Amino acid sequence: MFKVRLIKSLFGRVLLGVVVIACGKANADAALDPISPRLATADPAQGEKIFLQCRVCHVAEKGASPTVGSNLWGIVGRPVASKPDFSYSDSLKAIGGEWDYEKLNRYLFDPKAMAPQTRMAFTGIKPPRQRADLIAHLRTLADDPVPLPEVPSEDAGQAYRGLPRGEGEEQDWQNLPPAPGREEVFYTCNLCHSLMLVTQQGMSRDRWDETLEWMVEEQGMSEIEDAATRNLILDYLATHFGSG
């Protein structure tokens, strides 16, 4: 179904946006391959790029205070909803157990299928390779990373009946042109904004820089602390969606 809402642009203009709300039951019923075979060859460096969308709301540093979301340092193997300095939804608390690799796989595919009342505005990561890369990166965010799971034998069966291998592997970049910075822009902006609206802004590099500051100061987005990543994002936006 479709939900129409007014979206306030980055500098106060009001734009009409159409947001597609996917049917929750379809994702809730989806069968997933176990993630363990993919983790054996997953790329944590690529997962760090995918993690940019998580960093919009989460920090991932040891001892850091939570921001919009909880601190994700040490998330792999940690009991669900267990950080004492963060107020979790009852829906998330009800999951129980620990964030093992398969539970993370299921949750990252469709958070609302596991926690229907979660306050997290995130529809999930559908390509399995991306989930594997992200989980591989999350594993590194710890003093003592949890060992990777053993890869099940071919006749061991599948925990979620299984989607065909390769299902949903292709990423839809939503018309972002291929160039250095595309992944960083996609993962940083796509969680909270329609990329179509982002690409229509037509701002100079300085205005894009001011926009990122505004998002941090006024909208609660976590700071992009890595200068190289920030410059890559700004260069891409200014080059492809600048003021001309």
Give domain status of residue 219, yes or no: yes
For the chain, the helix, strand and coil percentages under 3-state DSSP, each to the nearest 5: 40, 5, 55
Contact call for residues 189 and 195 (beta carbons, < 8 A): yes
> Do 36 and 108 belong to one domain?
yes
Contact call for residues 36 and 101 (beta carbons, < 8 A): yes
Contact call for residues 182 and 237 (beta carbons, < 8 A): no
Give residue 18's pLDDT: 33
Give domain status of residue 209, yes or no: yes
> Do 149 and 189 belong to one domain?
no
State pTM to two decimals: 0.67
Give domain status of residue 215, yes or no: yes
Look up the domain containing 201 and give its range. Answer: 174-241
Torsion of CA 44, 47, 49, 55, to 10 degrees: -110
Give domain status of residue 186, yes or no: yes
Alpha-carbon distance of 185 to 118, in angstroms, equals 25
Residue-averaged pLDDT of the chain: 79
Tens of pLDDT, residues 47-78: 999 999 898 889 999 999 998 899 999 999 99
Name the more confident of 9 and 110.
110
Alpha-carbon distance of 102 to 35, in angstroms, equals 6
Total count of domains within the chain: 2
Find the radius of gyration of the CA atoms of the chain. 19
